Amino acid sequence: MKILSKNGNELLLLAMKDDSAAKGDYLLIEDRGRSMVVQVYDEEYLSSQALVEDIVKEEVVNATSAENLHDPLNIGSLSRLVRDARIFKAKIRAAVADGRLASDVTWLPSRVESRIRRLKAKELDALLGRSGVYPIPLGRAGDNEDFEIFAEDLDGKLTIITGKKESGKSHLSKLLVKTLVQHGAFVVVFDLNNEYSGLRWNRDGTPSQVHDRVMVLEPGKGLQFSLDYCGKAAVAGMLKNALDIPAASMREFFRIWDWLENKRTLGIEAIGNAINTWNINELVRDALVSRYHSIQQSRLFTDNGNAGFRFEEAMKSGGAAMVINMGESSGTTRRMTVELVLSKIVDLLERKAIPPIFLFAEEAHLYIRETYWEDLITRMRHFGVYTTFVTNQPDAINDGIYRQVDNIFLFNFTNDSDLDKIAKVSLADSDTIRSIVRTLPQRQCLAIGKAVCDLPVVVKVAAAEVLALGETKRFFKK
């Protein structure tokens, strides 16, 4: 390979037939004791008007002549080499100084004397100084080399996993959840497709390594709370953000709450009886009755305090995944569940009653609301909630969230509007995003952000060891 030209931070490299590089590969350009790291993001043919005319002329001659033309100087083979020449478009990522990558690239390598070679993933890791105590093997990168990130790169960070349907988002998400639990972390998963329960089993039907540390909770069945445990603040957030209760009705609700609490008879049934007999405006009563029926139908609350779920009890042992199955729940119950869980977790974290947790929001676009997610991102990471959004609709996530993102795992997108959204807010340049993400095969992603030291890396995600329950169900079997 040789350098053809430079425009801004982009290099055009001339490659002949034997030179190989794929989109996302890193190249090292060495010149007179200095080195530069560039990344290939696109490939095209070497093209000029004269070259196109020569190809057309030769095809016309071959089509109209049955005789083999005499070519003593072997010009034909040289011509074919020129026609097969390609151009690699590459972005300058960094220079190498004292065995480490540096952002100060103030020199231009020689077109004639510089040498260009592919950079192995291990070499890139050494230049970046990537290391950690808790590895998460993601799969393979570069020249089919093992690739891993570290749990520390997700700790205290905001992560987004996005791509079109069936591209492999949930596959990667389950891999992250399983490995975090193995490292002793506590994970809460909002599961809309009832697929994360498969983490308990291997594909051959045997119990997985995290079988005993995965709790599958369903609103109204395994997930119920007492009103005393939730507290007034969590219930207020649920009424406001999930049930849109008017302010006047909210005030009356908590007058009833305080009255029952003073009598030590606080409970769901007692609240229902009090609403029917309370001396209030009929419009306010109607609003309270409708919200009360929604609360009853959700079955999220129980008057048996000993039977209610408690996060403190679930987090006593080392490492656990609390999978909240919401696939069979109504949209209202989903929003109520999300609001209650978030409010209670933050309350416990503020009181240091539980350790920090990792939160995975699967199909986040179906229940995400700016009212509490904005607060979750801006404040709750300081309390100890580290969020990962998993969605196939990147435009459902607010720009304010994207601006604070630390890691993005991008799977295949072909829709221009989705690519535009990602390209605007991504941690990498738009040319790289548009070219690489559009052509990614299934279960390959472009990793960007702190986990890869801000250098985009194409990763082939490893095959799942656990049972995959989120695959599309089909009528016609192969």
Assess whether 432 and 370 both reside in one domain: yes
Q: How many CB atoms lie within 10 A of CB 455?
A: 19
Which pLDDT score, from 0 to 100, does residue 12 have?
A: 92
* Mean pLDDT on 195-210: 88
Quick check: is 468 in a domain? no
d(CA 354, CA 343): 14
Is 469 contained in some domain? no
Q: Which of 24, 13, 10 is nearest to 114 (CA)?
A: 13
What's the pLDDT at 423? 76
Which range is most confident: 43-52, 54-63, 411-420? 411-420
278, 200 in Cβ contact below 8 A? Answer: no
Greater confidence, 16 or 398? 16
**Residues 421 and 348 reside in one and the same domain:** yes
* Same-domain pairing of 324 and 416: yes
Whether 349 shows a pLDDT value over 80: the answer reads yes
Instruction: Say if CB 173 and CB 390 are below 8 A apart.
Output: yes
Write down the pLDDT at residue 187.
95
Q: Is the pLDDT of residue 323 over 90?
A: yes
Q: Binning pLDDT at 50, 70 and 90, where does residue 384 land?
A: confident
Q: Tell me, yes or no, whether 372 and 444 share the same domain.
A: yes
Please check whether residue 468 is in contact with residue 198, taking contact to mean a CB–CB distance below 8 angstroms.
yes
- At 371, is the pLDDT very low, low, confident or very high (cuts 50, 70, 90)? low
Element (H, E) at 365: none
- Of 279, 370, 297, the closest CA to residue 334 belongs to 297
472 inside domain: no
**What confidence score (pLDDT) does residue 374 get?**
66
Angle at 158 between CA 157 and CA 163, to 5 degrees: 135
Q: Are residues 112 and 146 in the same domain?
A: no
Helix, strand or coil for residue 402? helix
Q: How confident is the model at residue 472 (pLDDT cuts 50, 70, 90)?
A: low
Q: What is the pLDDT of residue 321?
A: 93
- Whether 321 and 441 map to the same domain: the answer is yes
pLDDT range class, residue 215, cuts 50, 70, 90: very high
Q: CA–CA separation, 381 vs 396, rounded Å?
A: 21
**pTM of model > 0.75:** yes
Identify the domain boundary among 253, 276, 298: 298
Same domain membership, residue 339 and residue 288? no
Q: Are residues 119 and 147 in the same domain?
A: no
CA distances from 384 to 181, 183, 261, 439 (A): 16, 17, 31, 37
Q: What is the CATH number of the domain that holds 210?
A: 3.40.50.300
Mean pLDDT value across residues 31-48: 87
Total tally of structural domains belonging to the chain: 3
Name beta bridge partners: 37: 28, 94
C-alpha to C-alpha distance for 409 and 118, rounded to whole angstroms: 23
* Domain identity same for 436 and 323: yes
pLDDT at 77: 63
Backbone torsions φ then ψ of 238, nearest 5 degrees: -65, -45
Q: What is the pLDDT of residue 71?
A: 58
Question: How high is the pLDDT of residue 214?
Answer: 92
Residues 175 and 41 in one domain: no
Do 186 and 318 belong together in one domain? yes
181: in domain: yes
What pLDDT shows up at residue 74?
A: 56
Residues with Cβ < 8 Å from 466, sequence gap 6 or more? 174, 178, 198, 199, 200, 201, 202, 203, 208
Tell me if 466 is assigned to some domain.
no
Whether residue 52 is predicted with pLDDT greater than 90 in this model: the reply is: no
Q: Where are the beta strands (DSSP E) in 34-185?
A: 34-45, 86-97, 100-102, 115-118, 135-141, 145-150, 159-162
- The better pLDDT of the pair 468, 6 is held by 6
Task: Give the domain extent around 211.
Answer: 135-223+309-461
CA distance between the termini of the chain: 45
Q: Strand 320-325 vs strand 186-191: parallel, antiparallel, or unpaired? A: parallel
